[in-house]
Amino acid sequence: MKLTPCLSLLAFYLSGSLAFAGSEYEPEFFEDFGDDEDLISIATGYEKPISKAPAVATVITASDIRKMGATDIDEVLEAVPGLHVARDVPGYNPIYTFRGIYSSLNPQVLMLINGVPFKSLFQGDRHLVWAGYPVENVSRIEIIRGPGSAVYGADAFAGVINVITKQGDEAKGLHSGLRTGSFDTTEFWASYGGESNGLKYLFSFEYEDTDGQREAVDSDAQSVLDFLGGTSLSLAPDSVNLGREAYDFRADVSWGDWRFQADYQNREGQVGVGVVQALDPSGLVSSDRYGVSIGYKETDLADDWQLEANASYRSTTQEVEQDILLFPAGSTGGPSPFPFSNGIIGNPEVYEHHFYFDASALYTALADHEIRIGSGYYLGDLYRVRDERNFTQTLIGQFPVIVPLQPDASVVDVSDTPLAFITEGARTNKYLFIQDVWHLDNDWELTAGIRYDDYSDFGSTVNPRLALVWSTSHNLTTKFLYGQAFRAPSFAQTRAINNPSILGNPNLMPEELESYELAFDYKPSVDVHLDANLFFYRWDDIILFEPDPAGRRAQNAGEQTGYGLELNAEWEVSDQFTLSGNLSLIDTTDERTGTSAGNAPEQQVYLRSDWQLAPDWHLNVQANWVMGRERVAVDIRPEIDDYLMVDSTLRFAPGDRDWEFAVIVKNLFDEDAREPSPSGDITAMPIPLPALIPNDLPLAGRAIFGEFRYRFGQ
């Protein structure tokens, strides 16, 4: 991809901005600027106007989510510049691809729920049994593009997503809703909240049951084995399997300086196109996730001091409700003389505890300085592993071969034996950080921060950041940003055993990223808001599974660079009509091969219109154009096809009534849209393997939903 024309466009844009900045205007021209600007806390730990925040950030509010007709957080995040939501094989889990940083399982993105990390030790991701995150109880979502380890530590790498849930003063009374439609989907939610004498409370419940989209996969991993072995065992062509049922409960109570939160999520879902890319129509997995947290924030502890402390606990599970079929009945699973009459079955389960504690203080006594210092402690414990299966793997020569555990290929419980797929264990992390926001002058602000993390299993790491924010004029802000980040190895990468295809390496070091950014925030009028961001990053020590005498072992083997441009615009054409959109241009290079890092879109355009058709009618139309997804170097398939996805929401909300109704249409024009499937594996077989799902992962066709909301009080 060539960025030269885009840089010329940016130069033209900025020349106009600076010319405008130097013009003479009456003071009243600027008096409305910033009155309704979003505040963001994710960049510094305390609220700042987004245009002045020392990061490239986006805020999406509950009002935005409702107008968009979004039913899940993934649909919301697709609207963020430089961020694309791809799909992984197991369960179609989201891959939040920030600025071309694409990897299966996606551990390079940190998700926070009200500032508390939501991640797993096992794979380093949000969770293998993800099955969606509903948005009805979301107050706003704050997103940082770029590194955030100086504030949030591990995994705040490519980007940080902070989901902030509603409190009692935002959802007073009883609110409920029902949504139903395509794929035999039913969703229900209800919340009750209020505020009295300083006490705020909110209790919410959300439920979803769906068969999931049923687009077909033409060929799968077993199809390749059928071709090589002359068999006909594959279940393809057949549909992906994405049915799921989800429950979400949340309680949020705050009084004075204290806030207490408790939540419970239960997920039960099918496994998409199969765990190893062979269709599995019957496998069923589940997850129980619950957590509690208590926070204290004192803004008047003493002169010039503010104190904040939080303690949290979260428990997560990955469980198997119905046998996971890795390969169908009769398959050998590879170059093996042992067919499995009942199929190859593997049921891995993991159970984790996570404890967090952090405390920080903000000191403002020094002239022109805001100094924030803090420390914290984390304990993660993969305390239980269960493993039931009917196979094991061994090496014949250099290649892994699947053989039965028992002569009749029956399922055996190998938990707490040397045959288990991973070892149990814990990880601790102690950290210190300091940040200084230095007001150099009326128009200049320098944010400098550094964080030290010490891990029990791989040692220590130091990550700094610098952000110089220049208020160039009343309506233009310029930012110069530098940051480093790290991604901690997952336990699957350090502790996996008994699988020659995926062997852990206890000597792994964390992945590292160094990033440079130049950003502009420009408001030529009260009705128009423009952003432009240029970035460059280097991603080192990427953890890959590389050939090893014992199989394929995790190694710090990869290196990637990337640079690009993000443009974002919002225009309030009138009181009834608003246009917004963004353009992302990204160029990535795999430094080992000198070719594109692949899979992520090099160009992406998002457009949105909001039209108040009449006092009670609102129409939202969105278009997402995903382009330029090249293959990785070893993948000989042609580029992934571009697609243009259009969604629309028509909402009727009479102002004198307590109810409203909406019709939501996803993929309005029934576009054949696909996300990249994994490339072939040239090390796993005696001959190079092609991509096991050659025609990529199909996304849902046209879907229509009806939505009804009712509020019983305010």
CA separation for the pair 199, 260 (Å, rounded): 11
**Distance (Å, rounded) from C-alpha 163 to C-alpha 138?**
7
pLDDT, position 95: 97
Provide the sign of the torsion angle of the four alpha carbons 40, 46, 51, 57, taken in this order: negative
Residue 299's pLDDT is: 80
Give pTM, 2 decimals: 0.93
Q: Give the residue among 235, 333, 324 at the shortest CA–CA distance from 286.
A: 324
User: What pLDDT was estimated at residue 35?
Assistant: 52
pLDDT at position 262 over 60 = yes
- Tell me, yes or no, whether 406 lies in a domain: yes
At residue 28 the predicted structure's pLDDT band, cuts being 50, 70 and 90, is very low
Q: Is residue 656 part of a domain?
A: no
pLDDT digits (tens, 9 = 90+) for 677-690: 999 765 444 456 78
**Where are the extended beta strands (E) located within 303-419?**
305-322, 325-327, 344-363, 369-389, 391-396, 399-404, 412-413
What are the residues whose beta carbons fall under 8 Å from the beta carbon of 695, sequence distance 6 or more? Answer: 217, 218, 219, 674, 677
Q: By mean pLDDT, which of 130-139, 268-277, 294-303, 701-710 is the weakest? A: 294-303
Residues 542-558, mean pLDDT to the nearest whole number: 91
The predicted-structure confidence for 368-419, as pLDDT tens digits, reads as follows 999 999 999 999 999 999 999 999 988 777 677 899 999 999 999 999 999 9
Q: Within 13 Å and on the Cβ side, how many CA atoms surround 513?
A: 36
In a domain, 682, yes or no: no
Please state the domain count of the chain.
Answer: 1
pLDDT at residue number 300: 77
Residue 317, domain extent: 4-539
- Whether the bond into 489 is cis, omega within 30 of 0: no
Q: Is the pLDDT of residue 515 over 80?
A: yes
Beta bridge partners of 390: none
Does residue 683 sit in helix, strand or coil?
Answer: coil
Please, how many CA atoms are within 13 Å of residue 267, restricted to the half-sphere of its CB? 24
Spell out the SS3 assignment of 269-327: ECCECCCCCCCCCCCEEEEEEEEEEEEEEEEEEECCEEEEEEEEEEEEEEEEEECCEEE
β-sheet bridge partners, residue 427: 380
How many CB atoms sit inside 10 A of residue 31's CB? 11
Do the beta carbons of residue 126 and residue 119 sit within 8 Å? Answer: yes
Taken in order 58, 63, 64, 70, the sign of the CA dihedral is: positive
- Does residue 440 belong to any structural domain of this protein? yes
Spatial separation of the C-alpha atoms in residues 418 and 408, rounded to whole Å? 21
- Cα(321)–Cα(386) distance, integer angstroms: 13
Identify the pLDDT of residue 24.
39
Q: If pLDDT is split at 50, 70 and 90, which confidence band does 7 have?
A: very low
Tens digit of pLDDT for each residue in 484-511? Answer: 999 999 999 999 998 878 899 999 999 9
- Show the DSSP H helices in 173-262 as ranges: 221-229
Within-domain flag for 708: no
Provide the CATH number for the domain around residue 58: 2.40.170.20
Note whether residue 617 is domain-resident.
no
Instruction: Please report the pLDDT score of residue 688 as a whole number.
Output: 60
pLDDT tens for residues 454-490? 999 999 999 999 999 999 999 999 999 999 999 999 9
Residue 557: how many other CB atoms lie within 10 Å:
12
Quote the radius of gyration of the chain (alpha carbons, Å): 26
**158 with 98: CB under 8 angstroms?**
yes
pLDDT > 90? residue 74:
yes
Mean pLDDT over 174-195 rounds to 97
Q: Are 686 and 652 in contact (CB under 8 A)?
A: no
Instruction: Please state, in angstroms and as integers, the Cα–Cα distance from residue 13 to each residue in 19, 50, 53, 352, 568, following that order.
Output: 10, 21, 22, 50, 12
Mean pLDDT, the chain, whole residue set: 91
Is residue 70 domain-resident?
Answer: yes
Residues in contact with 375: Cβ distance below 8 Å, sequence separation at least 6, in sequence order: 358, 359, 360, 430, 431, 432, 433
Q: Give the pLDDT of residue 499.
A: 83
Residue 460: per-residue pLDDT: 97
Q: Any idea which residue has 């288990």 for tokens?
A: 420
* CA gap 129, 324 in Å, rounded: 13
- The answer to whether the CB of 212 falls within 8 A of the CB of 240 is yes
CA distance 132 to 92: 10
Q: Which residues touch 358 (CB under 8 Å, ≥6 apart)?
A: 309, 310, 374, 375, 376, 377
Contacts of 710 (CB under 8 A, 6+ apart): 175, 176, 177, 658, 659
pLDDT at 714: 57
In the prediction, which pLDDT does 687 show?
54
Secondary structure class of 264 (helix, strand, coil): strand
Nearest to 582 by CA among 619, 530, 629: 530
* Structural tokens at position 360: 């920080």
Each residue of 634-673: pLDDT tens digit? 898 999 999 999 999 999 999 889 999 999 999 999 999 9
| pLDDT higher than threshold 80 for residue 22 | no
Q: What is the 3-state secondary structure (H, E, C) of 600-619?
A: CCCEEEEEEEEEEEECCEEE
- Cα angle: 94, vertex 96, 101; to 5 degrees: 130
Whether residue 5 has pLDDT greater than 50: no
Is 564 within a domain?
no
CA 398 to chain centre: 36
